[in-house]
Amino acid sequence: MNRRNFLHSCLQAGLGAGAAAAMGRLNLMQAAMAASSGVGDYKALVCVFLAGGNDGFNMVVPTDSYFSTYAATRASLANEQASLLALSAAAPPAGEGEAYGLHAGMEGLQSLFNSGNAAVLANVGTLVVPTSQVAYRNGSVPLPPHLFSHNDQQALWQSPSASAVSQQGWLGRVMELVAAQNTQSLLPSAICLSDQSLLLTGSTQLPYGLSPYGAVLMNAIDGVGAQPSLELARAVVFNSNTHAVAPHVFERTYNDVHIRAQQFAQAHINATAGIASPPEFAGLTSFLSAQLGMVAKTIEARAAIGAGRQAFFVLLGGFDTHDAQLATQPGLLADLSSSLKAFHDATVRMQVADQVTAFTISDFGRTLSSNGDGSDHGWGSHHLVVGGSVIGQRYYGTMPSLASEAGNPDDAGRGRIIPTTSVDSYAATLARWYGLSESDIDLVLPNLAEFNRDLGFMA
């Protein structure tokens, strides 16, 4: 993301009402008080968005005799069986196959799974009600609108219900219900490190936009350009204007946005000033590792910030593999694996591994069938959850059939697999661990009554 987009995100953060405005006015003395008292009941959720639609059926692959079914259906897309990284699960999964492995290059996530710090969520997707192949083909159940569309499915994964795209995200609504645990926070509790922020958007405030390389001050007045003295002179004029009493509501709102954006940026700079880059990320140079490194650094500053609950959104793009999938996906999955491993190791060093949970989401899965050089837009897919509170070394949900379309009861057509676990169940399980009551979970996820309330993957 470029500087302009980050600035836009920072300005968005300033639009939040009530608590956000109060947080922006807290001073550095309050930060020191928060640091001295500590934040005891701290928890953080970290969403890793795999943009484009990750092919989860090539990320988690059968290693037993069921591999032959997988290989026959996937044809030119199939992994080599010998290249798969074995997952030593505590129990075989429900559904098809008894043993699975990860794509080559995912050694970091393999070690996290095998040590009990990661789990696989099988065949997750957007659903309005549980849907069978017969019901889908007969049109006898409501379906998420605009299935297989990138923009719509990205938004529905992040919305409180798959019935319609919302202006709020389910995690943003969760954050508002735990706002009482962030009353001393110098920053909004929802922090976005990419230009997509629906998941963290609530009814009263937007997430704070943070760069993977730190807080973003305003260009041309931050004193770090080619003419710092001129920029600082501009800053004096700008600050004088924005702090002046404005006669019109639009002017006052404009000024408040800029003031809060500057306050949030300076608060993050001050809180992280004495914190070194996480050593676990040494040697990693990807954009995802930079994002997660900054998340780790921000978590380390949680006491100085005064945060009791935080949520982060990071993004790894490139998963729309209509072609060159065998050349593209391995690097992306290796990046995901090494970055998540470094992040988890950082939480272990900081002694907050049990208080931080990372999880993946994506637009959708991809077709089992090959288009010759890649896969097309699908529906259900596998996902990963990582953290010290994850009941790991297990599969949750039901592994679908990987047979070809004609003999596959899970196939909606053209190799698109119907999800058997809803996003609602996934979100509810995370929200419960985060501290929400059952009644609050129902407020966040109004369609949850149709699905399993707790998938059981969080301690």
Cβ contact 328:336 at 8 Å: no
Sequence-ordered alpha helix ranges (H) in 179-324: 228-242, 249-271, 287-300, 302-305
What mean pLDDT, rounded, does the chain reach? 90
Burial of 287 (0-12, 13-18, 19+ CB in 10 A): middle
More confident residue, 31 or 254: 254
Q: In whole angstroms, what is the distance from residue 62 CA to residue 117 CA? A: 21
Q: Is residue 459 a part of any domain in this protein?
A: no
Q: Is the pLDDT of residue 27 over 60?
A: no
Q: Is the pLDDT of residue 18 over 50?
A: no
Write out the residue range of the structural domain in which residue 292 sits: 3-450
The pLDDT of 128-157, averaged and rounded, is 98
The pLDDT of 141-166, averaged and rounded, is 98
Task: Among 75-89, 175-189, 276-290, 333-347, name the one with the lowest average pLDDT.
Answer: 175-189
More confident residue, 218 or 59: 59
Residues in the chain: 459
The pLDDT of 45-67, averaged and rounded, is 98
Q: In whole angstroms, what is the distance from residue 206 CA to residue 202 CA? A: 6
Task: Among 14-23, 117-126, 146-155, 162-171, name the one with the lowest average pLDDT.
Answer: 14-23
Q: Is residue 227 a part of any domain in this protein?
A: yes
- Put simply, whether the predicted model's pTM sits higher than 0.85 gets the answer yes
The pLDDT of 99-119, averaged and rounded, is 98
User: Residue holding tokens 């988890």?
Assistant: 344
Task: Tell me the per-residue pLDDT of 221-269, one tens digit each, with 9 for 90 and over.
Answer: 777 777 888 878 887 777 777 788 878 888 888 877 778 888 999 999 9
Within 8 A by CB and 6+ apart from 205, the residues are 13, 15, 16, 17, 18, 19, 20, 176, 188, 190
pLDDT of residue 47: 98
Q: Is residue 455 a part of any domain in this protein?
A: no
Q: In whole angstroms, what is the distance from residue 333 CA to residue 85 CA? A: 13
Task: Tell me the per-residue pLDDT of 69-104, one tens digit each, with 9 for 90 and over.
Answer: 999 999 999 999 999 999 999 999 999 999 999 999
Q: Is residue 209 a part of any domain in this protein?
A: yes
Nearest to 207 by CA among 230, 218, 196, 191: 191
Cβ contact 192:313 at 8 Å: yes
What are the tokens at 120? 């696989």
pLDDT of residue 150: 98
Domain total for the chain?
1
The pLDDT of 394-407, averaged and rounded, is 97
Task: Among 144-148, 248-252, 334-338, 441-445, name the one with the lowest average pLDDT.
Answer: 248-252
Q: Is residue 102 a part of any domain in this protein?
A: yes
pLDDT of residue 216: 80
CA 1, 228, 285 angle in degrees (round to 5)?
Answer: 30
Q: Is residue 458 a part of any domain in this protein?
A: no
Q: Is the pLDDT of residue 30 over 60?
A: no
Which helix (H) or strand (E) segment holds residue 425: the answer is: helix 423-434
Q: Which stretches does DSSP call E strand in 26-109?
A: 43-50, 60-62, 85-86, 94-95, 100-102
pLDDT of residue 40: 65
pLDDT of residue 33: 35
CATH number, domain of 167, equals: 3.40.720
Task: Among 90-94, 206-210, 367-371, name the one with the lowest average pLDDT.
Answer: 206-210
Confidence of residue 4 (pLDDT cuts 50, 70, 90): very low
pLDDT of residue 206: 87
The pLDDT of 338-345, averaged and rounded, is 99
Q: In whole angstroms, what is the distance from residue 387 CA to residue 33 CA? A: 29
pLDDT of residue 250: 86
Within 8 A by CB and 6+ apart from 431, the residues are 170, 174, 440, 441, 444, 445
Q: Tell me the CA end-to-end span of the chain in Å, nearest whole number.
A: 36
pLDDT of residue 255: 76
Q: Is residue 269 a part of any domain in this protein?
A: yes
Q: Is the pLDDT of residue 180 over 50?
A: yes
Largest Cα–Cα separation, the chain: 74
Task: Among 10-14, 111-115, 344-348, name the one with the lowest average pLDDT.
Answer: 10-14
Task: Among 218-222, 411-415, 420-424, name the one with the lowest average pLDDT.
Answer: 218-222
Q: Is residue 81 a part of any domain in this protein?
A: yes
**Bridge pairing between strands 356-362 and 43-50:** parallel
Task: Tell me the per-residue pLDDT of 259-314, one tens digit each, with 9 for 90 and over.
Answer: 888 899 999 999 999 999 999 999 999 999 999 999 999 999 999 999 999 999 99
The pLDDT of 108-134, averaged and rounded, is 98
